[in-house]
Amino acid sequence: MSSSLRNQPVLSVRDGHPIAHAREPIIDPNNLKIVGWWCEGAGGQTVLLAEDVREKMPQGLVVNETSALSSPKDLVRHREILKINFQLIGKPAKTKRQKLGKVKDYCYNDGLFVQKLYVDRPLFKALGGDTLIIDRTQIIEITDKFILVKDAEVKETEVELEEAPATEAAPAA
């Protein structure tokens, strides 16, 4: 879950102690990949790229050495993503027809791609069910203001076919 990505110490194998604190994951809104973390340490605000993480453990994120932390201005390739500062938690999710709620959590896979969104439904809808789970394959569009999700549509013709009584074919004469 996303809580395992927040407020984690960054541990250096070479130095043998924490070198920074990973505050928030950096998520690319174009593909929902976690590309790194905003970190705080002795050198101020830095970025730890996911590719520089040697291992993710319960004790924190393990890197080889202090040089794994970069200044945001030095990361030219990631400049646009860093500037966007995309936040997934709290982002409204909706379909073309209705508001679904706000993202309260997400889970990710080993490749650090966001796999599922957990959406808190509004109170009046929550009485009818639990948290809404949205798979990444259901996402149509991600903007600064919302996440657009596919409608769970059942075509009327399919419903009519399902509801129609089964009839036996008359024997051919």
Looking at the fold, whether 126 and 61 belong to one and the same domain comes out as no
Q: Which residue in 44, 46, 50, 52 sits closest to 14, CA to CA?
A: 52
Looking at the fold, whether 75 and 106 belong to one and the same domain comes out as no
Looking at the fold, whether 12 and 67 belong to one and the same domain comes out as yes
CB atoms within 10 A of CB 2: 20
Residue 173 forms part of a structural domain: no
Q: Which residue stretches of the chain have pLDDT < 50?
A: 126, 154-173
- Provide the pLDDT for residue 166: 47
Does pTM top 0.85 for this prediction? no
Residue 165 forms part of a structural domain: no
The dihedral through the CA atoms of 69, 75, 79, 83 has a sign that is positive
Range of the domain at 59: 2-84
Residue 169 forms part of a structural domain: no
- Provide the pLDDT for residue 134: 87
Report the mean per-residue pLDDT for the chain. 80
Looking at the fold, whether 24 and 71 belong to one and the same domain comes out as yes
Residue 166 forms part of a structural domain: no
Burial class (CB in 10 A: 0-12, 13-18, 19+), 103: buried
- Provide the pLDDT for residue 157: 38
Looking at the fold, whether 59 and 125 belong to one and the same domain comes out as no
Phi-psi region of 57 (alpha: psi -120 to 50; beta: other; left: phi over 0): beta
- Provide the pLDDT for residue 124: 55
Phi-psi region of 112 (alpha: psi -120 to 50; beta: other; left: phi over 0): left
Looking at the fold, whether 9 and 80 belong to one and the same domain comes out as yes
Task: Report the percentage of the chain scoring pLDDT > 70.
Answer: 82
Residue 170 forms part of a structural domain: no
- Provide the pLDDT for residue 158: 40
Which tens digits make up the pLDDT trace of 43-64? Answer: 788 989 989 888 888 888 888 8
Number of independent structural domains in the chain: 2
- Provide the pLDDT for residue 26: 92
Q: Which CATH number goes with the domain that contains 12?
A: 2.30.30.240
The amino acid occupying position 134 is I
CB atoms within 10 A of CB 75: 17
Looking at the fold, whether 35 and 79 belong to one and the same domain comes out as yes
Q: Where among 52, 84, 116 does a domain terminate?
A: 84
Distance CA 9, CA 37 (A): 11
Residue 172 forms part of a structural domain: no
